Amino acid sequence: MNELQFRDPKLARSIAASMERMLDEIGRPVAVMHVCGSHEQAIARFGLRSLFPKALDVIMGPGCPVCVTDVPEVDEGVVLAGQGVTIATFGDMLRVPGTVKSLADAKASGGHVEIVYSPRQAVELARSTKEEVVLFATGFETTAVATAAVILDDPPPNFSVLSAHKYIPPVMEIVAEMPESRIEGFLAAGHAAAITGWGVFEAFVERHNVPVVVAGFEPNDILAGLAELVELVRRKTPRVVNMFPRCVSREGNIPAQTQLWRVFRPTGGRWRGIAHVPNGNLRLRDEFAHIDARKRFTIDLPSLWDYAPPQFAGQCICGEIMSGIRNPRDCKLFNRECVPENPIGACMVSNEGTCKIWHLYGGVPDLEASA
């Protein structure tokens, strides 16, 4: 396989030109949403926004798992780190603010917080020590599957999981139902769809009458996915199209789904800044209570709440940004009080957060347009 063909700038410009023609035919601006931080990351990294037609508004939805991890979930990790257990988590989580502290703050005040790259590494960490190791597990279904696999693979007795995993399909419903929504199509994340299969979006298209295109993460995967979405809008034929057939099938990865649902059950819960999302959170089933950090430890959350919440937290509009209603320029704190060195909202923390990505651009998403 030659990955380079998915990164050929000439092909990219060609696809962009096709998209331009389709939009000319439509004759009005079109807004579409992607729901994956990795898509925004690739768009940012390759400077793809400067290739997008002016009439196409690509909005970033609630696709950053780190950003939507709710404040009380971070608090649970922070409290546990202060209770003498070792918290193992992904690098992006470290600076996400809780009510008063982030995990990085907990680490600075003596808590044990270790960065891992994979759930498996957290298990290895547990095997290498006598201390309690808690995997603070964040991420969408793709990552939850990896957590499920280590839970089912006989982890050592000092290993447990604090699950903040989230499930994407329900939040797409929430966004599609928002009255302010002007989204005419969704670009679905290829990695997540590799697990769930693209069939999962068929009922969604039926209900909301908007097309969904599954796309991969190489620059040309994204451009081709967007072009297909625009084409479906042009033809007024909402349906699911899989533009990532090398990784996604209709039924998805059945063994992975089996393990995912054996370990986790979907439950309603808040996504930071967005809403209560029915079935949006993945929690461990009772059968795995012995590995569930929430059941194994008494997490003394109120001990944190003796402190006043940070001064600016109330002014943060991360939620509206993640819902695609507003953008970072609408935020009073953006690039003033809220910067990556001192983030107020989670969108400024994660490499996949809209505010962080916009900050990296110097506050503008498209250099050509602003120059």
The rounded distance, in Å, linking the Cα atoms of 308 and 126 is: 35
User: CB-wise, 244 or 297, nearer to another protein?
Assistant: 244
Query: Closest distance between another protein and the C-beta of residue 205, in Å?
Result: 19
User: Could you tell me which stretch among 72-80, 116-124, 168-176, 271-279 binds another protein (CB under 8 A)?
Assistant: 116-124
228 binds another protein (CB under 8 A): yes
10 binds another protein (CB under 8 A): yes
Query: Closest distance between another protein and the C-beta of residue 223, in Å?
Result: 9
200 binds another protein (CB under 8 A): no
20 binds another protein (CB under 8 A): no
Query: Closest distance between another protein and the C-beta of residue 303, in Å?
Result: 20
User: Could you tell me which stretch among 27-35, 110-118, 295-303, 315-323 binds another protein (CB under 8 A)?
Assistant: 110-118
- How many residues at the interface with another protein, by CB under 8 A? 93
191 binds another protein (CB under 8 A): yes
User: Could you tell me which stretch among 203-211, 222-230, 266-274, 295-303 binds another protein (CB under 8 A)?
Assistant: 222-230
CA distances from 300 to 62, 96, 198 (A): 29, 20, 41
237 binds another protein (CB under 8 A): no
Query: Closest distance between another protein and the C-beta of residue 61, in Å?
Result: 15
- CB burial of 41-52 (b: ≥16 within 10 Å; e: otherwise) equals bbbbebebbebb
Considering only residues 283 to 322 of the shown chain, the ones binding another protein according to CB under 8 A are none
User: Could you tell me which stretch among 40-48, 174-182, 201-209, 321-329 binds another protein (CB under 8 A)?
Assistant: 40-48
The rounded distance, in Å, linking the Cα atoms of 158 and 127 is: 8
The rounded distance, in Å, linking the Cα atoms of 193 and 257 is: 11
Are the beta carbons of 33 and 183 closer than 8 angstroms?
A: yes
Instruction: Using CB under 8 A, pick the residue from 153, 180, 206, 287 that binds another protein.
Output: 153
362 binds another protein (CB under 8 A): yes
Instruction: Using CB under 8 A, pick the residue from 70, 75, 92, 184 that binds another protein.
Output: 92
245 binds another protein (CB under 8 A): yes
User: Could you tell me which stretch among 26-34, 73-81, 133-141, 273-281 binds another protein (CB under 8 A)?
Assistant: 133-141
Phi-psi region of 252 (alpha: psi -120 to 50; beta: other; left: phi over 0): left
User: Could you tell me which stretch among 170-178, 212-220, 279-287, 308-316 binds another protein (CB under 8 A)?
Assistant: 212-220
User: If you count them, how many residues does the chain have?
Assistant: 371
